[in-house]
Structure 1
Amino acid sequence: MSRTSPHQHLQHTELSRRGLLRTAGGLGAALALGGGGALAASTAGTASAAPATWTHPGMLHNAGDINRAKVRVAAGDDPWLSGWNKLVANSHSQSTWTNRATATIIRGGTGENYSLLFNDIAAAYQNALRWQVGGTEANAVCAVNILNAWSRTLTSVTGNADRFLAAGLYGWQFANACELMRGYSGFDLAAAQEMLVKVFYPLNNSFLTNHNDACITNYWANWDLCNMASILAIGILNQDSAKYDQAVTYFKSGAGNGSLAHAVPYLYTDSAGYALGQWQESGRDQGHTVMGMGQMGALCEMAWNQGDDLYSYDSRRFMKAAQYVAKYNIGQDVPFTTYNWGTGQNCTASSQTVISSASRGQVRPVWAMLHFHYNRRLGLDDKYISQMYYDLVAPEGGGGDYGTTSGGFDQLGFGTLMYAK
């Protein structure tokens, strides 16, 4: 899918960064972002968002992230050591974890068993991190056993409409665990790639295309976002340019609530001069709003590691939303414009007139990724994001540290360990 001409200036930045990443082997080039120049001009005609050369590992973590965590933890430096200690203490990161792979996962309706999958994914990811950062072979073996078992066993994800949430959330998370184990002896990458394409992608694609036969605005931003993230992650794992392009194009111009302009419908500047963006779910509750920071953040981070700067797309619209969400959740007031949308199959009119205080201040491990990108990579003043992260969240844990229900597993976490700079 092609890039669109109204954002030609942004296209130059993205392509110049991809060229720099290619030249630098994917390490350390992030600091060069923004240096468009001749390189950007020479590559502006590129039609596809997908990279000419794929970077591996290149989803939530690149080789530089892993090496930095490894060196800093070995040296006993904080905050990396504090993040590592959170990982090691988590029950899911133990090499004795036994997978519970099953053929059919059900989310929504009768017979729900999807906790089997999200717990095992958390265990695979955390064991993979322990191997990558700590070098312990037992953790690698555990991660591979979990991933191989599910890749060879899972044949369907079903249930009521919530099956689309399962397909989105657990699709991108499973792919990320696989990416960390890519190339490890005994890991059946081909089985994982095939399973993700046969079991997860059809649901991801169906949702973004048809939205469960509902009004296009019926489903909240997170539904689109997790399915976009799954398609992007599968595209990276499988080096599938068409899928990668599908996710990036939807982020920029999709019809549903997960595309950037729909997810952040209103922009403001507060009395202190900070740009803010109202999040689409702000009138619903803060738990799902903060979840959105994690879903869009994962999408942006994965694209970043393949050379696409979605974080800065549309004049850093996502950063404005993150500042808005963080400011409200640290206890400060934010503006709110009445949000109107259509529900159900017939687009029945609905509206929210005030921001919701439900679950205000909820802690989820999504903020390190955003803070260390905007503040440390780009050197921007992210006042409210910083306060949210340092005052309420740090150091970040992961699945198993934030309760036993699905909300605590909507993000993989451990951002303090993997993103601190």
Structure 2
Amino acid sequence: MRSRVLLSVSALVAALVTGLPGGPAEAAPATFTHPGVLVSRPQLDFVRAKVQANEQPWKAAYDQMNASRYASLTRTPSPRAIVECGSYSNPNNGCTDEREDALAAYTLALRWYISRDSRYAEKAISIMDAWSATIKDHTNSNAPLQSGWAGSTWPRAAEIIRHTYSSWPNAGRFATMLREVYLPEVAGGSSSNGNWELTMTEAALGIAVFLEDRAAYDRAVAKFRARVPAFLYITADGALPVAPPVGGVDTRDEIIRFWHEQTTFVDGLSQETCRDFTHTGYGLASISHIAETARIQGQDLYPEVAERLRHGLGFHAKYQLGAAVPSWLCRGDLTLGLGPVTEVGFNALHNRMGIPMTNTQTLTERQRPAGTNNLFVAWETLTHANNPH
């Protein structure tokens, strides 16, 4: 019992030091900004001007996006009433179809805004309408994560179309789908690995913006503030990482098991580093996406997470770039594959806040133009590279 109390006190002190979970519960703006999920109108206008001027890296990123299967006007959506996703999407009954149709809607919405060719807006609408007329539920063990992946992407597309295109008759039905099918699945959070809850929280926040639901927005920000310190370690946390907000993981042995048997903790280490970099990248992406959406809505969460996020990105970028793995780190064996997840956080922390990020900058520039992970990350060189807005 004593160890649990000590750990709880340590976690509280770390929270106060970093200014995360102890913050005010109320976070939602009095007036929501639209489009305002991951990308804003000033950001989109910046990108459009760069593409029209044939400037790099935006033009190459735009061409890459347009050449993808997600930008096609001949795409046929594949909606299902019940999307069933087991562990690692096995069984996969509509899981890939749903995620990729959501990515297609977002891709087409971006293409519409930059090109002003209404065919792309109409195609995005047709995909969103097909799903909102059909889907009723997600089932099996991966239902929360699947809902998080698709639920993170749908509002990005919907925000652009609803607030920049002339007509979307079934926008209300799409809003009902987000409220009744997706939000209940993601709003409660998760006791699984941190990338689950972060992706689910990203979805909850984006949905809240589209619905202008202040209570849902506040709940999402509160979950973000509680989960980030339990996903990315910094030395201010003490000898052990902060315990996750749910799941009963709070003794030393439980925390070490939760951190995949890692026993040495350094700035930037993630709860999933020793699992693999791919899942770690999902969490890093969602942290950046949530902070970016909140910033657009007038609440800058970046200062609260800057120390963790800069170290998290830099630590993993270092090894993704080929640094030798020390024996104390994951028994000397890392599974790489961070993915195209650094642009948003790098732009916010380095370009806007002026934080040096040498490893992250090298990796980000080397990976340009960043494409998609075919789950919920897409085209972030296009949308966020050196974007000042």
For the residues of structure 2 that align with 1:47 and 1:91, how far apart are their CA atoms?
42
Structure 2 match to 1:195: 177
Which SS does the other structure have where 2:268 is aligned?
Answer: strand
What pairs up with 1:403-414 in 2 under 5 angstroms? 408-414=373-379
Following superposition, the deviation at residue 363 of structure 1 comes to: 5.4
Contact 1:83/1:417 (CA < 8 Å) preserved in 2?
yes
Deviation at 1:314, TM superposition (A): 4.8
SS of alignment partner, residue 246 of structure 1: helix
Percent identical residues: 27
SS of corresponding position for 2:377:
coil
| 1:397 lines up with 2:371 in the alignment | yes
Report the 3-state secondary structure (helix = DSSP H, G, I; strand = E; otherwise coil) of the residue aligned with 2:177: helix
The separation in 1 between residues aligned to 2:286 and 2:71, in whole angstroms, is 22
Structure 1 pair 96–314 and aligned structure 2 pair: CA distance change class (3 A): closer
Relative distance call for 1:337 and 1:59 in structure 2 (3 A) is: farther
Change (3 A) 1:363 1:288: closer
State the 1:154 CA deviation.
0.7
Q: 1:117 maps to what in 2?
A: 98
Partner of 2:156: 176
1:289 maps to what in 2?
Answer: 280
Unpaired runs of 5+ in structure 1? 15-45, 254-258, 269-274, 339-352, 399-407
Show the counterpart of 1:54. 32
Read off the aligned partner of 1:412 and give its amino acid letter: V
Q: How does 1:220-231 map to 2 (within 5 A)?
A: 220-231=193-204
Q: Distance in 2 between matches of 1:118 and 1:128?
A: 15
* Correspondences of 1:16-95 after superposition (within 5 Å): 48-95=26-73
Deviation string, structure 1 residues 53-80 (Cα, Å, up to 9, x no partner): 1110111100111001111111111111
**Structure 1 residue identity aligned to 2:47:** A
In 2, the alpha carbon distance for the partners of 1:377 and 1:334 equals 31
Correspondent of 1:310 among 288, 301, 304: 301
User: Pairwise mapping of residues 241-260 of structure 1 onto structure 2 (< 5 A)?
Assistant: 241-253=214-226, 259-260=227-228
Task: Name the amino acid aligned to 1:186.
Answer: W
Conserved? CA contact 2:144–2:185, under 8 Å: yes
Is the CA contact 2:109–2:160 (under 8 Å) kept in the aligned structure 1? Answer: yes
Residue of structure 2 in register with 1:272 after alignment: none
* Bigger RCO (CA 8 Å, 6+ sep): 2
Secondary structure (helix, strand or coil) at the match of 2:33 reads coil
Task: Give the Cα–Cα distance (whole angstroms) in 1 for the partners of residues 306 and 49 of structure 2.
Answer: 35
Q: Aligned partners of 1:134, 1:330: CA distance in 2, in Å?
A: 35
Structure 1 residues 221 and 187, CA gap change in structure 2 (3 angstroms): farther
2:331 corresponds, among 354, 357, 376, to 354
Following the alignment from structure 2 to structure 1, what is the Cα–Cα distance between the partners of residues 328 and 220? 28
Taking the aligned partners of 2:156 and 2:202, their CA distance within structure 1 comes to: 11
- C-alpha distance in structure 2 between counterparts of 1:249 and 1:114, whole Å: 28
- Paired letter, 1:354: R
Q: Is the 8 A contact 1:124 1:146 kept in 2?
A: yes
Q: What does residue 81 of structure 2 align with?
A: 103
1:336/1:154 Cα in 2 relative to 1: closer, same or farther (>3 Å)?
farther
Residue 141 (structure 1) aligned with residue 106 (structure 2): no
CA distance 1:330–1:113, shift in 2 (3 Å): same
RMSD: 2.5
Deviations 1:271-297 (CA, angstroms, capped at 9, x unpaired): xxxx93111100111111122221222
Could you tell me which runs of 5 or more consecutive residues in structure 2 were left unpaired when the two chains were aligned.
Answer: 1-11, 237-265
Counterpart amino acid of residue 269 in structure 2: Q
How far apart, in 1, do the equivalents of 2:305 and 2:100 lie?
Answer: 36
Greater shift, 277-286 or 289-298, is seen at: 289-298
Quote the Cα distance in structure 1 between the aligned partners of 2:17 and 2:92: 49
Pairs aligned (count): 338
Q: Deviations over 1:57-109 (max 9, x none)?
A: 11110011100111111111111111111111112101222211221111115
Give the 5 Å matches for 1:308-387: 308-314=299-305, 316-333=307-324, 354=331, 356-358=333-335, 360=336, 362=337, 364-387=339-362
1:267 aligned onto 2:248 = no
Whole-angstrom distance in 2 between the partners of 1:252 and 1:47: 10
Cα distance, 1:310 vs structure 2 = 2.2
- The answer for the alignment partner of 1:345 in structure 2 is none
Task: Describe the shift of the 1:288–1:10 C-alpha distance in structure 2 as closer, same or farther (beyond 3 A).
Answer: closer
Distance of 1:91 and 1:325 partners within structure 2 = 30
Say whether the 8 Å CA contact 1:148–1:187 is kept in structure 2. Answer: no
| Alpha-carbon contact 1:370-1:385 (below 8 Å) kept | no
Separation in structure 2 between the aligned mates of residue 313 and residue 112 of structure 1, nearest angstrom: 39
1:106–1:112 Cα contact (<8 Å) kept: yes
Deviations 1:154-197 (A, max 9, x none): 111112x2111101111111111111111430252211111111
d(CA) in 2 for partners of 1:396, 1:128 = 18
| 1:9 to 1:102, Cα distance in 2 relative to 1, 3 A | closer
TM-score, length-scaled by structure 1: 0.75
